[in-house]
Amino acid sequence: MTATDHTHVVVHPDADLLARATASRFLLALIDAQSVTSPVHVALTGGSILVDTLRAVAADPLRDAVDWTSVHVWWGDERFAPQGHPDRNDGDAHAALFSAVPLPPENIHAVPGPDRVADVAAAARAYSEELERYAPEGARVPELAVVLLGMGPDGHVASLFPGRPSLDVDALGALAETDSPKPPPERVSLTLPTLCSADQVWLVVSGEGKAPAVAAALAGTSLPESQGGTDDGSSVPAGRVHARGRTLWLLDLPATTALPTA
């Protein structure tokens, strides 16, 4: 199904196939990008389907066709917690994938936690500086080949939540969220323009509980406050993410159940 010229919806029968197909698609995207450029920058995030996807990447034989030494991993968002804390997204990714592929530790760009910086604002500043260090001459952020995003039932992506001022930050780089409705409250997130600067953004969404937010995002509308939305007609955060190249919605069947039938 095609939603717009650059936004496409792909539906897999269930969550397991969604994770495995996204994993193969991700590996092919890395291999493809590596045929024309090096290094290749990607951004990952947290959430259950994303971690399942990273596990599937580790189990996919195509992983051996990737030159992991030229892959750089960034975080779409990270919870402000010390290294090794179970809240952190990077711990899950390490267990699911990084421990299984020869990705050099210096290519994994972790967001600093309270064990390294004074507060979440300092963490966001440090991450923005790190992004700039890897950006092409004159740019603020690296060229992200693929950004993988999960989505919450309220339509949030990374740590950009409905109705929060973070959604209106128009600078490239990272921002601090201090009052996330999803715990923990303190997080660092890439800004919306940074997500949209990527060549491709893939929104990987599973389950019927997210079906209303999928429908709202694709229609560019809000959700009622009772579902964590703003009820003001503005698009849920996920509906505001449009990659420079291709925006892919990768869904399982239950996540499509609120979409209008063609």
Q: Which is nearer to ligand 6PG, 130 or 186 (CB)?
A: 186
77 binds ligand 6PG (CB under 6 A): yes
H or E element that contains 149: strand 144-149
Closest listed residue to residue 1, CA positions, set 249, 239, 252, 258: 249
85 binds ligand 6PG (CB under 6 A): no
Decide if 154 contacts 164 (C-beta within 8 A): no
From CA 251, how far away is CA 15, in angstroms rounded?
8
Q: Which is nearer to ligand 6PG, 66 or 177 (CB)?
A: 177
212 binds ligand 6PG (CB under 6 A): no
237 binds ligand 6PG (CB under 6 A): no
- Kindly state the DSSP code that residue 239 receives in the 8-state scheme: G
From CA 241, how far away is CA 217, in angstroms rounded?
9
Task: Please pick, from the candidates 112, 142, 150, 229, the single residue that binds ligand 6PG as defined by CB under 6 A.
Answer: 150
CA distances from 71 to 74, 144, 152, 155, 253 (A): 10, 11, 27, 29, 32
Choose one: 32-40, 94-102, 131-139, 151-159; the region binding ligand 6PG (CB under 6 A).
Answer: 151-159
From CA 88, how far away is CA 46, in angstroms rounded?
8
48 binds ligand 6PG (CB under 6 A): yes
173 binds ligand 6PG (CB under 6 A): no
Task: Please pick, from the candidates 152, 155, 212, 228, the single residue that binds ligand 6PG as defined by CB under 6 A.
Answer: 152
66 binds ligand 6PG (CB under 6 A): no
Residues that bind ligand 6PG (CB under 6 A): 45-50, 77, 79, 89, 150-152, 156-158, 182
